[in-house]
Amino acid sequence: MSARSRRITGVLAKHWVLGAFRSGLGLSPRRCTIFAREWRAAFAELGPAFIKLGQLISVRPDEFGRELVAEMTAMQDAVPALPAEAIRSVIFDEFGRTPEALFATFDDTPIASASIAQVHGATLRADVRPVWGAVMPAGTQVVVKVVRPGAADAILADMVEARRLVGRFGGLLRGFDAMKLIGEFDASVRRELDLRTEARIADRFAFDFREDPQIEIPRICWSFTTRRVVTMERVIGWRLTDLDEAARAGIDSKALAIYGATAFMRQVMVYGRYHADLHPANLFVTPRNTIAYLDFGIVGHLTKDERESIAQVLAGLAYRDADRALRYSRRLGVEVPPDKVDVVRRELGTLLDSMFDPGGSKEFRHFGLGFISLLRRHHIDIPSGYGLLVKSLATVEGCARGLYPDIDIIDTARPFVTRLLSDSFGKPERIEERLNAAIHAALRELVA
């Protein structure tokens, strides 16, 4: 066993023992929360690869328990900054020139430092024409995001160790396929290590929202973008965690909450591409009363059929129709075995009813995560895309409620759902599918 393997095993074992001790040898009713807290501490201690793994877990309620997902969501991806010289040497490697030769100014003090990249401020030396949007004139403030030297090697080496450990001890992990998760993690991290992917997605989002003056996407400077460096327009504003200051500046939080939730629904229902890593640090409110999206590391994709099925599931939720929600969840890949259909439908009905009870929770989070818990309880496989979408919707709801506590996320989805369902009514296959039922219903009425 390598020194790194021994360290990983040692740290995980230490926190497992601490968890067992703090939860009274597993007897405490709060044991899941206590263990989740220990796993978070262990991941933070083990460094970049595990911090990224924690982020991946935080968007996968389909694979992990509610407590672990909540803990990993709270884990901040912030690590001590590297000296500016290390970052300057990456820029020199990538462009053959110093930051001063590329930009009019370059700030050695980082704006942010995360496990994969460090971000510095700069200003443009000459005009830059982005893929979409107005030309950025010389003097425009930009941010230069640089992959930390050694980050890729360290993360990929940890991945090899993780595969080895899972191969040896994976059998002890019940309830999920650890090797499959490592595979997904590997793909996700490799995507994130190539900053051009994020830049391309940012361009696409800028195009999607081209006619919406209330949504801002930072423009990319492709002349100063490579695999390890991305340069983009700097967004000045407030993070969702600094809203008191925004309110003092006259920002209309309620209107922005409704608008932000609607914009997300448009991503899901109309464009079929959505920002799947939304959290207060990736969303800015600007002094122009607009919303700015940052960091397109995790993006979900949906086909037209999937969007229609999601609309049907949401319609099932709005009309307390468990049958409909279950039928269209199947189209999204949730296969309920025949012997479990009745019990799952009954429990889903109870969950839906609880949302309409006086005083019951109207939150999507309550339904979405409750449905996933229900499926997990019955050992029903949940496709990863389903978990990612539910988590994203729940997060958007959480962010919107931070701005405007009374927002009803289902209400914001309603116009999009109606449009999608209306569109699908006219499809020949849909008419064919429903024609028999319609003829039978008509005949029943005639002979009644």
Partner 1 sequence: MATDDVMRFFALWMLTHETADEGLKAAVARGEDSGPAGMEGGPDAFVDGLAAMVAAEKDKLKAELAAGSVERPSADEQKLALEELRFEVAEMRGRMDALTGAVETVLAKLDASAPVKG
* One residue of 50, 224, 364, 367 binding partner 1 per CB under 8 A: 224
Give CA–CA dist 336/377, Å, rounded.
12
Give the shortest CB-97-to-partner 1 separation in angstroms: 5
* Residue 168 near residue 5, CB atoms below 8 Å: no
* One residue of 163, 196, 234, 273 binding partner 1 per CB under 8 A: 196
Tell me the window of 14-22, 68-76, 104-112, 124-132 that interacts with partner 1 (CB under 8 A).
Answer: 124-132
Give the shortest CB-448-to-partner 1 separation in angstroms: 13
Subset of 328-357 contacting partner 1 (CB under 8 A): none
Give CA–CA dist 50/45, Å, rounded.
8
Annotate 175-211 with DSSP letters as a single string. SS-HHHHHHHHHHHHHHHHSHHHHHHHHHHHHHHTTT
Q: Is 414 in the site for partner 1 (CB under 8 A)?
A: yes
* One residue of 125, 190, 200, 327 binding partner 1 per CB under 8 A: 200
The size of the interface with partner 1 (CB under 8 A), counted in residues, is 25
Give the shortest CB-364-to-partner 1 separation in angstroms: 17
Tell me the window of 117-125, 128-136, 179-187, 367-375 that interacts with partner 1 (CB under 8 A).
Answer: 128-136
| Cβ neighbours of 210 (radius 10 Å) | 12
* One residue of 29, 80, 96, 171 binding partner 1 per CB under 8 A: 96
* Residue with Cβ nearer partner 1 (210 or 378): 210
* Residue with Cβ nearer partner 1 (366 or 414): 414
Give the shortest CB-297-to-partner 1 separation in angstroms: 19
Tell me the window of 95-103, 250-258, 350-358, 372-380 that interacts with partner 1 (CB under 8 A).
Answer: 95-103
* One residue of 6, 30, 129, 378 binding partner 1 per CB under 8 A: 129
* One residue of 94, 186, 194, 423 binding partner 1 per CB under 8 A: 94
Strands 141-147 and 291-293: what pairing?
Answer: unpaired
H-state helical runs in 278-362:
304-318, 322-331, 341-356
Q: Is 97 in the site for partner 1 (CB under 8 A)?
A: yes
Q: Is 271 in the site for partner 1 (CB under 8 A)?
A: no
Using DSSP, how many helices (H) and how many strands (E) does the chain show?
18, 11
Give the shortest CB-443-to-partner 1 separation in angstroms: 11
Q: Is 130 in the site for partner 1 (CB under 8 A)?
A: yes
Query: For residue 315, what are its two tokens?
Result: 């319609």
Enumerate long-range contacts of 268-271, CB under 8 Å, 24 or more apart: 268/300, 268/302, 268/307, 268/310, 268/389, 268/392, 268/393, 268/416, 269/307, 269/310, 269/311, 269/413, 269/416, 269/417, 269/419, 269/420, 270/416, 271/208
Exposure b/e, 91-121, CB count within 10 A at least 16 = b:
beebeeeebeebbeebbeebeebbbbbbbbb
* One residue of 16, 95, 271, 404 binding partner 1 per CB under 8 A: 95
Q: How far is CA 341 from CA 6, 62, 327, 351, in A?
A: 45, 19, 10, 15
Rounded (to 5) percent helix, strand, coil in the chain: 60, 10, 30
Q: Is 76 in the site for partner 1 (CB under 8 A)?
A: no
* Residue with Cβ nearer partner 1 (153 or 211): 211
What are the residues binding partner 1 (CB under 8 A)?
Answer: 94-97, 129-132, 196, 200, 203, 207, 210, 220, 222-226, 319, 414, 418, 422, 425, 446
